[in-house]
């Protein structure tokens, strides 16, 4: 909350507290003070900042519900840290910042429903009174934790290929008289350079997706076209890996969004499925609609993901199997890009997985409102078989 807003609310609180204090002194001790006037009470009730006014003896004169929610005041008892800060303010007259931890230190996965980090400013206010203003800083702490984690991960991920390129370049120079060694090191150098380029490219993509206006010019997008183009982009890699990509029949489903971004997201999912599937298996793609949503699911029969990892697979740079991810050229950003693309479209990316069985990644997108259930008549007119192999492993019939 800005200083001007705090000053306005503090003025109302001060006036109200002064009025209540005067009335307490003038009235019978057993008589309850009148309730605050409606405007002042409404200001206190609606404020997202917790306010507490203390007397010169440290006794609570006035507070709002938010102050109690944030743990500044509980059952009429002032928090010990707040009380100590108030004593220091009474002596020095200088404001004191206090950090409270009502539950536990900030976590990247913790629920935001319960405040975890509360910052309070305790300052002198009016005639022998002290004002406490408290705010929930949990979200800011989580953002800062994510930022630090991201910077650390980017530094590490960039450092690895850069160091490898330097070593390989040196080895290539030292092997100038050995053509076979030069070819070997040059091949590895090319691989690391490609990996570095892919990492930088995906970092730029993710940064753009997190921009202020990610969908500047949305259009009506045919899901069938997105599926077809995504399969075409992965077909060669799937064939080389001996994996068949199987899609259900055209659906005629429509969404509103960015066609290129949706193709990129689905391509990432199919590529991921191919990379983590054994040869001779299938990667299946299905399209469904219901409850105003269009869903595209990619299912593989690969190694699967452990339960403790499924909640983190969409995090930037998270790898359930780092060695395999690097061997396939993965940057650790593919699924993070998928999640951001779907989020920008107002949808949701989810995963179901079982170790040894495989995984299903599902993109849920709002159906285009211009067509009933997001569907055209393509599905009803299509005579395509519901399970058509669009990419088969080499040697398959």
User: Between residues 334 and 278, which one has the greater pLDDT?
Assistant: 278
Same domain, 204 and 219: no
Domain boundary (79, 101, 136) is at 136
Segment 346-364 mean pLDDT: 93
Predicted TM-score of the model (pTM): 0.55
The reported pLDDT for the residue numbered 363 is 96
Cα gap 242→393, rounded to integer Å: 4
Same domain, 102 and 167: no
Residue 396 lies in a domain: no
Domain boundary (209, 240, 263) is at 209
Same domain, 324 and 387: yes
Percent of the chain with pLDDT over 90: 31
| Nearest partner of 297 among 346, 353, 369, judged by Cα | 353
Cα gap 10→133, rounded to integer Å: 9
Written as one string, the DSSP assignment of 126-195 is TTTEEEEEEEE-HHHHHHHHHHHHHHHHHHHHHHHHHHHHHHHHHHHHHTTT-HHHHHHHHHHHHHHHHH
Cα gap 58→63, rounded to integer Å: 13
The reported pLDDT for the residue numbered 281 is 94
Written as one string, the DSSP assignment of 84-98 is HHHHHHHHH---EEE
List beta partners, residue 317.
none
Residue 247 lies in a domain: yes
Segment 114-118 mean pLDDT: 70
User: Between residues 373 and 383, which one has the greater pLDDT?
Assistant: 373
The reported pLDDT for the residue numbered 229 is 95
Range of the domain at 258: 215-391
Segment 9-31 mean pLDDT: 53
The reported pLDDT for the residue numbered 359 is 93
pLDDT at 385 over 50: no
* Sheet containing 129-136, strands listed edge to edge, beginning at the edge strand earlier in sequence: 60-63, 50-54, 129-136, 118-125, 96-100
pLDDT at 112 over 90: no
Query: What is the number of structural domains in the chain?
Result: 3
Segment 231-238 mean pLDDT: 93
Read off the pLDDT of residues 131-163 as tens digits, 9 standing for 90 and up: 999 998 888 777 777 677 767 767 766 777 788
Domain boundary (101, 136, 171) is at 136
DSSP structural state of residue 253: B
Query: What mean pLDDT, rounded, does the chain reach?
Result: 78
């Amino acid at each position: 909350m800005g200083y001007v807003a705090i000053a306005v609310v503090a003025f109302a609180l001060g006036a109200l507290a002064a009025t209540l204090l005067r009335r307490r002194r003038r009235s019978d001790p057993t008589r309850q003070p009148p309730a605050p006037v409606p405007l002042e009470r409404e200001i206190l009730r609606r404020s997202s900042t917790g306010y507490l006014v203390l007397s010169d003896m440290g006794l609570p004169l006035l507070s709002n519900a938010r102050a109690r929610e944030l743990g500044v005041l509980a059952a009429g008892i002032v928090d010990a840290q707040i009380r100590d800060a108030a004593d220091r303010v009474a002596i020095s007259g200088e404001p004191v910042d206090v950090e409270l931890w009502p539950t536990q230190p900030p976590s990247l996965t913790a629920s935001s429903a319960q405040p975890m980090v509360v910052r309070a400013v305790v300052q002198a206010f009016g005639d022998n009174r002290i004002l406490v203003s408290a705010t929930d800083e949990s979200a800011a702490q989580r953002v800062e934790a994510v930022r630090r984690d991201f910077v650390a991960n980017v530094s590490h991920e960039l450092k690895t290929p850069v160091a490898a390129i330097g070593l390989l370049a040196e080895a290539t120079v030292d092997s100038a008289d050995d053509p076979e060694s030069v070819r070997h090191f040059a091949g590895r150098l090319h691989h690391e350079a490609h990996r570095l380029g892919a990492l930088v490219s995906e970092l730029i993509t993710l940064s753009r997706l997190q921009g202020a206006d990610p969908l500047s010019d949305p259009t009506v997008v045919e899901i069938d076209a997105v599926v077809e183009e995504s399969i075409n982009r992965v077909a060669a890699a799937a064939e080389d890996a001996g994996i068949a990509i199987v899609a259900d029949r055209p659906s005629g489903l429509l969404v509103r969004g960015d066609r290129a971004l949706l193709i990129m997201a689905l391509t990432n999912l199919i590529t991921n499925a191919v990379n983590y599937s054994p040869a001779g298996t299938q990667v299946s793609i299905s399209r469904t609609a219901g409850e105003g949503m269009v869903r595209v699911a990619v299912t593989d029969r690969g190694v699967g993901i452990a339960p403790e990892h499924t909640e983190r697979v969409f995090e930037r740079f998270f790898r359930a199997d780092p060695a395999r991810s690097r061997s396939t050229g993965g940057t650790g950003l593919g699924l993070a890009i998928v999640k951001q693309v779907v989020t920008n479209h107002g949808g949701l990316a989810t995963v179901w997985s079982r170790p040894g069985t495989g995984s299903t990644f599902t993109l849920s997108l709002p159906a285009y409102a211009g067509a009933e259930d997001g569907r055209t008549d393509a599905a009803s007119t299509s005579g395509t078989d519901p399970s058509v192999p669009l990419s088969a492993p080499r040697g398959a019939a």
